[in-house]
Amino acid sequence: MKRKTHKKAQLMAQPFVYIFALILGALILVWGIKMIVDFVGTANKAELGKTMKSIDSDVSEFYHYDEGAEKPRTLSLPKGINYLCVADPGARLNCRKKTKQGISNCDIEQIDGTLEVLVTRTGSKDNVFTAPMENAGLNNGRFSIENLKPSQGNPLCFANGVQFVITTKAAYVEAS
């Protein structure tokens, strides 16, 4: 019987095949992880967009109801967003924060340092903000919901998971 022997060039090429396979496997793994992270980010943007669209449609609907009509809502924001703040653009700052225990005064810097500049800016139509804004990923955390104003404080910030109420007033809809 004749024994099969490898030539020297064949023996030298085999390690390169294994090295190439390892590099290719690592690239596929990195690409897969990146795709999962991107997918989670897109899901968070979609959840925030759905929440804001729902609030906008409720405010538009309640604007045409009789004064005093109320609807409680439980705030559900994506992971990484701690507050939803309703502001009266251009008005004086008087920050309030609604926690599970009730409404309390807040340090606006603690919620988001850029919020003060955005709320007091005149001519802006943005009246709903997420905090921290950099985690929103959608509209840079700034939204405009027509006819929505805070009940007390400017801005009035709601913690994620807390229940808030929208109430029809004579000329606008109030968030409390």
Check: CB of residue 129 under 8 Å from CB of residue 155.
Answer: yes
Confidence tier at 154 by pLDDT (50, 70, 90): confident
| 164 in any annotated domain | yes
Least confident segment among 3-17, 29-43, 59-73, 156-170 = 3-17
What's the pTM value of the predicted model, to 2 decimals?
0.77
Within a domain: residue 71? yes
**Mean confidence (pLDDT) of the chain:** 85
How far apart CA 155 and CA 164 sit, in angstroms, is 14
Q: Is residue 7 part of a domain?
A: no
Tally of structural domains, the chain: 1
Tens-digit pLDDT profile for residues 50-109: 999 999 999 999 999 999 999 999 998 988 898 898 988 877 788 888 877 777 888 777
- Bridge-based pairing of strands 102-105 and 148-150 is unpaired
- Asked if residue 17 is part of any domain, the answer here is no
> Is residue 33 a part of any domain in this protein?
no
Give me the domain span that covers residue 89: 38-175
- 114-117: list long-range contacts, CB under 8 Å, 24+ apart: 115/85, 115/155
